[in-house]
Amino acid sequence: MASLTIRKLDDAVKTYLRLRSAKNRRSVEEEVRVILRELIEGREEPLTPFSAPPAQSTAPTPQRTGAAPEASVTLIIGGGIAAYKSLDLIRRLKERRVEVRCVLTKAAQQFVTPLAVSALSHERVYTDLFDPQSEFDAGHIRLARGCDLIVVAPATADLMAKMANGHADDLASAILLATNRKILLAPAMNPLMWNNAATRRNLAQLQRDGVVLVGPNSGEMAEAGEAGVGRMSEAIEIANAAERLLRPPVPKPLAGKRVLITAGPTHEPIDPVRYIANRSSGKQGFAIAAAAQAAGAEVILVSGPVDLDDPAGVTVKHVESARQMLEQVQAALPADIAIFAAAVADWRVANEGEQKLKKTSAGMPPLQLVENPDILATISKLTDKRPPLVIGFAAETEHLIDNAKTKLARKGCDWIVANDVSPATGVMGGDRNTVHLLSRKGGEIAVDSWPVMTKEQVAIELVAHIARSVTDKSREPAS
């Protein structure tokens, strides 16, 4: 049912869902479920007339404020003296745009109150496995899997023992057993408990199970006169460890590479106020520039007139005509990779008027057209400063692959990205693209056809091919 509904949504909504689900590394269906859940949880009234009345201990759910969270954590607070530090941890996680849902064990409630935790997390707090309010739809499973990470802080000796042995007799241990998310433990206990043979065994088992640890640190204990290893890590250390798991460092496969990209249409003047143009929006070239920059490349984008913001971290040279575009491209060399995505006008007006052409009784002024410089062919055929990988775009309205193959041979570039721009496809100015990547393989031309994707996804895919090719030291795209 979900996929049927998604297909029927507006394009803008679908694009939003795809981007949001890609960012959160969830399927689109899963993302829709998360959004619906958030919506339902934010409701003041009961979900259905049949749901249980609010439990007395249910904390209020204040309005969320500030920037939208980018990740979510289920924080399990165990019954240790260090539980007070978890209040600061909630704040530190929220500062990092992490949504925090807290679970308190029975023992934890002796150290911090659900009210304080709820007030800081701006969420209701969960304490009971058999809570009719949250278990009407198996809430412990939601807490176990509807998050990106589970953090246990403080992780008591008891919680570690339960985890290592697969117990599920309260909400915290049931969540820990039912999850398929990464678990981060911040142990906190007396040094004798930490060094006890049973805890050592449990710890070794948990590490074999893939649980990640932060701390414990060494220092003074709450118990007078005791010191040693067992102090829970500081909130900021735990938040940083959680952030590393939530947002692992992005690989930069194009680090140290200089990438030159052209985008958009060109405007060829007829007179000071009129010009010849085409329908290119520049979106595909801009998306490639952003993807190459995200992959660590130094990016120079030479753009014709477009209605787009400059991508962050990219050097953008704005031009109008094909001749200006060629000039900026030549000035930007040398480059390791050149991608010519601009829809450069093939012709310009030879007799460009110095003044605005006037309507006269003599009829329409004759427009003499002359050929523009061919930027792709010019750069592909350079003997000096030719980028090692030159990629052209072929926008065709008929015989797409045949025309693209001819273009690859004629222009002397290494790859061609061919796309059908006939009006029915909506590619020109639209947000989606269906492309075929043509490359030389031995004496043959290989064609790799990609499914319909957003222009951002096409850009990411192309950059991934480039990265693999650069790594392989081969000009042929990896399949």
Active site residues: 278
156 near ligand FMN, judged by CB under 6 A: yes
d(CA 20, CA 17): 5
Q: Tell which residue, 77, 105, 103, has the closest CA to residue 186.
A: 77
- Binding positions for ligand FMN, 396-435, rule CB under 6 A: none
* Beta-carbon count within 10 A of 142 CB: 21
Element (H, E) at 164: helix 157-165
Among 157, 246, 341, 417, binds ligand FMN (CB under 6 A): 157
DSSP letter for each residue of 94-115? HHTTEEEEEEE-TTGGGTS-HH
What is the x/- site pattern for ligand FMN, positions 184-203, by CB under 6 A?
Answer: ----xx---x----------
Asked if 385 and 447 touch (Cβ cutoff 8 Å), the reply is: no
Q: How far is the CB of 204 from ligand FMN (least distance, A)?
A: 17
Cα gap 21→245, rounded to integer Å: 18
Contact yes or no for 306/282 (Cβ under 8 A): yes
Beta strands in 121-226 (DSSP E): 149-155, 182-187, 212-213, 217-220
Least Cβ distance, residue 87 to ligand FMN (angstroms): 16
Q: Which residue, 221 or 453, has its beta carbon nearer to ligand FMN?
A: 221
Site for ligand FMN in 51-110 (CB under 6 A): 78-82, 105, 107-108
Whole-number minimum distance, CB 217 to ligand FMN, in Å? 13
Q: How far is CA 13 from the centre of its chain?
A: 17
From the list 356, 358, 422, 412, the residue with the least C-alpha distance to 389 is 412
215 touches ligand FMN (CB under 6 A): no
The residue (of 11 and 220) whose beta carbon lies closer to ligand FMN is 220
Q: Is 159 in the site for ligand FMN (CB under 6 A)?
A: yes
- Distance, CA of 390 to CA of 339 (rounded, Å): 6
Q: How far, rounded to the nearest angstrom, does the alpha carbon of residue 47 sit from its chain's CA centroid?
A: 32
* CA angle in degrees (0–180, nearest 5) for 472-473-477: 65
Residue 77, token pair as written in the block: 């607070």
Structure tokens at 175: 């969540």
Residue pair 365/354 in contact (Cβ under 8 Å)? The answer is no
Helices and strands, number each (H, E), in the chain: 17, 21
Contact flag: residue 114 with ligand FMN (CB under 6 A): no
Q: Which residues bind ligand FMN (CB under 6 A)?
A: 78-82, 105, 107-108, 154, 156-159, 188-189, 193
